[in-house]
Homo-oligomer: A and B are copies of this chain.
């Protein structure tokens, strides 16, 4: 009989909106919560015995009930609260991911969802430990100069011209590993400031610089991983129309795109535990 390997299950993308009405000025929090549990789950896979399977419907209910009973603090704190709760009995590990969009206040009880980025928190709990990732997705940035790309190898299939001045654009996804105390705003600022100020010889160099800046600004961050698609902006050839194009008119292409990814760690970074395990699995 085949062996059961790595497995996890849970309720994904419970969309919770929590309103705080303490006084005239309301607050609103908007979270997408995903839970993945693992542990001693052979019986359900092999025999359909559900006695250890906390229903995903129950997990959803728990998300809503906890939002009332405990309130919603930082996404990291809410994820930790839930992850700790789900560990016990057959469930030896719980992963909770929270994706939060922010609402900007217009009035005492009116809001606009202005920002396009998503704040992410991932907490994995076992019976004896807790691991925390914070992150951001959808952070789209562009610089109109201070970006070069040359000195790359040329083989039979290379046609790309070298450039000392190009538009560089990317949509940053980042996750940083810490003890739960790192400031989200500090990390976000370090990413933006470095992208803006860095003179780039390659997107890889920029990625490393951005990651290093987060480590530098946020003492509790041990590791950061970044995924940065190179959103190509091609200079349009206007010579057929008798026009010059000195990096003024670009075609922003969709696909294909370069995809540059990397991790930056402290030398003495602790073990990441199950934090970087895949979710979803495929």
Contacts and interface: CB of A to CB of B under 8 A. Distances in A.
A91 B160 CA distance: 19
A6 B263 CA distance: 5
Contacts of A2: 211-212, 215, 264-267
Contacts of A246: 21
Interface in A101-137: 103, 106-107, 109-117, 135
A141 B110 contact: yes
A63 to B, nearest CB: 9
A248 B18 contact: yes
Nearest to A7: B262
A200 B265 contact: no
A184 interface: no
A258 interface: yes
How many subunits of this chain does the assembly comprise?
4
Interface string A146-159: 10011111111111
A45 B265 CA distance: 13
A11 B266 contact: no
A282 B225 contact: yes
Interface string A5-18: 11111111111111
A226 interface: yes
23 contacts: A5-B264, A18-B248, A21-B144, A45-B205, A47-B205, A48-B200, A48-B205, A51-B151, A51-B153, A54-B152, A58-B154, A58-B157, A58-B158, A64-B236, A65-B157, A65-B243, A109-B144, A112-B192, A113-B142, A157-B241, A173-B280, A174-B282, A262-B281
A41 interface: yes
Interface in A246-265: 246-265
Nearest to A30: B252
A53 B152 contact: yes
A4 B55 contact: no
A266 B103 CA distance: 33
A150 B50 CA distance: 7
A62 interface: yes
A93 interface: no
Contacts of A263: 4-7, 281
Contacts of A36: 259, 261
Given A58-B160, A157-B65, A241-B157, A195 B110 contact: yes
Contacts of A94: none
